[in-house]
Amino acid sequence: MHVCIKRIEYFFPEKKESNTDLKADNPDWRIDDIVKKTGIVSRRISSNEQTATDLAEESCKKLINSGLNTEDIDFIILVTQSPDYALPTSACILQDRLGVESCIAFDINLGCSGFVYGLAVSSSLISSGLAKQGILVCSDTYTKYIDKHDRTCRPLFSDAAAATHISISEVDSIGPFELGTDGSGYDKLIVPSSGARINSNKSQTNKLFMSGADVFMFTMDMVPKAVNSLLIKSNKKIEDIDLFIFHQASKLVIDSIIRRLDLPEEKVFMNFENIGNTVSATIPIALSDAIQQGRINTGDLIMLVGFGVGYSWGGCLIQWP
């Protein structure tokens, strides 16, 4: 059984945060320098009352309003690292709110690699005959974890949800996949006091910590390897790929990937400037924007690569249906 992406819808919280806002809280920040390296001019920020489940609900409703029948939804997979509760699973709350009859519903706790992992799991559910179609929704509100004076994280991260309708298909259009993990980097991007692990270090907080240099070195090492593995696995060359969509981490990261792989810049999609780094939602949002902008045509071969917190990475090829 084959699998395809039918449609993508995304949703942003209303509040936009500009770099002027950052400067107001942090007069000593060199904003021009920050923008030159991140490429990010503004971000979206969830309100205090608005959670990742709320954003996910809005993006899923857009799919339903565009014609997806709730009776046809066999699974809801929510990729999030900002669940409403430690338990129950946020996907269960989402299933109830969307008015979907009993279906497969669970969360995947992954960040920037999460869309590709979710795509692999969705494809497996359909290929194995457990489901015919469903929603993969990536939603996070990292900004709730970020201290307003954190110069490493605050200029980057943004809140959003992206819902992808995945369905059984006549034509094979998703795969192969390249998925990987290096848990030795678990503490390089972490919210230290956010789970059951009791911490003896009283200075550790429930705020996001990122060692930018470590995460960058991991990315520079692993992403080119993952891209090359995927090319070998699929017997393709860089020239055969019509568009590369990488996790929209920042300008500096994507520029470095382009340089290390010697990719033609026009084949690499970027849309972080006024969206920011929305964690697992960056790839489906970029995919949707690329379609809207006419950058993807039927039959095009697209490579998706997500990477980050974990460390975790995932890449796959999609032949656009």
Nearer Cβ to another protein (157/218):
218
Residue 132 sits in the site that holds another protein (CB under 8 A) = no
Residue 260 sits in the site that holds another protein (CB under 8 A) = yes
Of 228-257, binders to another protein (CB under 8 A) are 252, 256
User: In the complex, what is the shortest distance from the CB of residue 201 to another protein, in angstroms, rounded to a whole number?
Assistant: 19
Using the contact rule CB under 8 A, the part of the chain among 31-39, 75-83, 138-146, 233-241 near another protein is 31-39
- Binding residue (CB under 8 A) for another protein from 17, 214, 242, 300: 214
User: In the complex, what is the shortest distance from the CB of residue 155 to another protein, in angstroms, rounded to a whole number?
Assistant: 9
User: In the complex, what is the shortest distance from the CB of residue 62 to another protein, in angstroms, rounded to a whole number?
Assistant: 36
Question: From CA 182, how far away is CA 222, in angstroms rounded?
Answer: 10
Structure tokens at 128: 């194995």
Residue 265 sits in the site that holds another protein (CB under 8 A) = no
The residues, any chain, with a CB within 8 Å of residue 76's CB and separated by 6 or more, are: 60, 91, 94, 95, 98, 100, 103, 104, 105, 134, 135, 137
Nearer Cβ to another protein (25/172):
25
Beta bridge partners of 174: 318
Structure tokens at 188: 């390089």
DSSP 8-state symbol, 268: B
Q: Which residue has the tokens 């799919």?
A: 63
Residue 37 sits in the site that holds another protein (CB under 8 A) = yes
Pairing of β 15-18 and β 75-79? unpaired
User: In the complex, what is the shortest distance from the CB of residue 229 to another protein, in angstroms, rounded to a whole number?
Assistant: 16
- Binding residue (CB under 8 A) for another protein from 220, 238, 270, 301: 220
Positive or negative, the Cα torsion across 126, 131, 132, 135? negative
Residue 259 sits in the site that holds another protein (CB under 8 A) = yes
Residues that are catalytic: 112, 247, 277
Query: How many residues line the site for another protein (CB under 8 A)?
Result: 19
Is the bond preceding 224 in cis, omega lying within 30 degrees of 0? no
Beta bridge partners of 16: 44
User: In the complex, what is the shortest distance from the CB of residue 141 to another protein, in angstroms, rounded to a whole number?
Assistant: 23
Q: What are phi and psi of 257, to 5 degrees?
A: -65, -45
The residues, any chain, with a CB within 8 Å of residue 145's CB and separated by 6 or more, are: 82, 191, 194, 206, 207, 208
Nearer Cβ to another protein (261/301):
261
Nearer Cβ to another protein (70/256):
256
Contact 296, 302 (CB under 8 A): yes
Amino acid at 296: I
Helix crossing, 282-292 with 114-127: angle to 10°? Answer: 80
Q: Would you give the binding string for another protein spanning residues 141-160, x where CB under 8 A is met?
A: ----------xx--------
- Binding residue (CB under 8 A) for another protein from 24, 130, 217, 232: 217
The contact set with another protein (CB under 8 A) reads 33-34, 37, 151-152, 211-214, 216-218, 220-221, 224, 252, 256, 259-260
